[in-house]
Amino acid sequence: MDFIPLSIPDVILIKPDVHRDERGFFFESWQKNKFAKAGIDQEFVQDNHSRSSKNVLRGLHYQIRQPQGKLIRAIVGEVFDVAVDLRRSSPSFGKWVSANLSSENFNMLWIPPGFAHGFLVLSDVAEFVYKATDFYAPQYERCILWNDRDLGIDWPISGHEPILSEKDSKGKLFREAEVYL
């Protein structure tokens, strides 16, 4: 298993060892000792699973209290996954990183607490699963507008508008958002 820090080094791309043969494949998606050795020594308390259609964009979500670290992967289809650093004390505050996660590449992404998260579905359908380090707390959930110009996220959108929930279409601008210290 390879653990590759991205340009914001706290966000880590994980490339598992996938064992394939004529029957299919096998890989470890979580192994506490290997992850701890790579600096991801977390207790996960909740697993989530979503299914979305092509061009659905979810995010940019975070919880201002009970922030969640997330271990993310696509088990069907492909997504463009984004993490935005909301830690004011961080040298990468307001910066973003991305990775394509798919059922073909098996890659996973570790996003620690203190980040907003979102993804865009690139395939006809995508199923997305993630482990979270804290429980969902809707009273603390916040949303930053996906296309905020101050963030400048380079979403791979060509010739169409993404499909958004009402909540996501009303996200706050980054400069107005609550952030972490």
Q: Domain spanning 44-176: which CATH class is it, in words?
A: mainly beta
Q: How far is CA 34 from CA 3, 39, 109, 156, in A?
A: 10, 9, 15, 33
Per-residue pLDDT of the chain (181 residues; tens, 9 = 90+): 999 999 999 999 999 999 999 999 999 999 999 999 999 999 999 999 999 999 999 999 999 999 999 999 999 999 999 999 999 999 999 999 999 999 999 999 999 999 999 999 999 999 999 999 999 999 999 999 999 999 999 999 978 899 999 999 999 999 999 999 9
Share of the chain above pLDDT 90, in %: 97
Backbone torsions φ then ψ of 30, nearest 5 degrees: -155, 130
Whether 130 is a known active-site residue: answer yes
Query: Exposed, middle or buried, 7 (CB in 10 Å: 0-12/13-18/19+)?
Result: exposed
**Diameter of the chain by CA atoms?**
53
The catalytic residue among 19, 49, 62, 130 is: 130
The catalytic residue among 19, 49, 61, 140 is: 61
How far apart CA 150 and CA 46 sit, in angstroms, is: 32
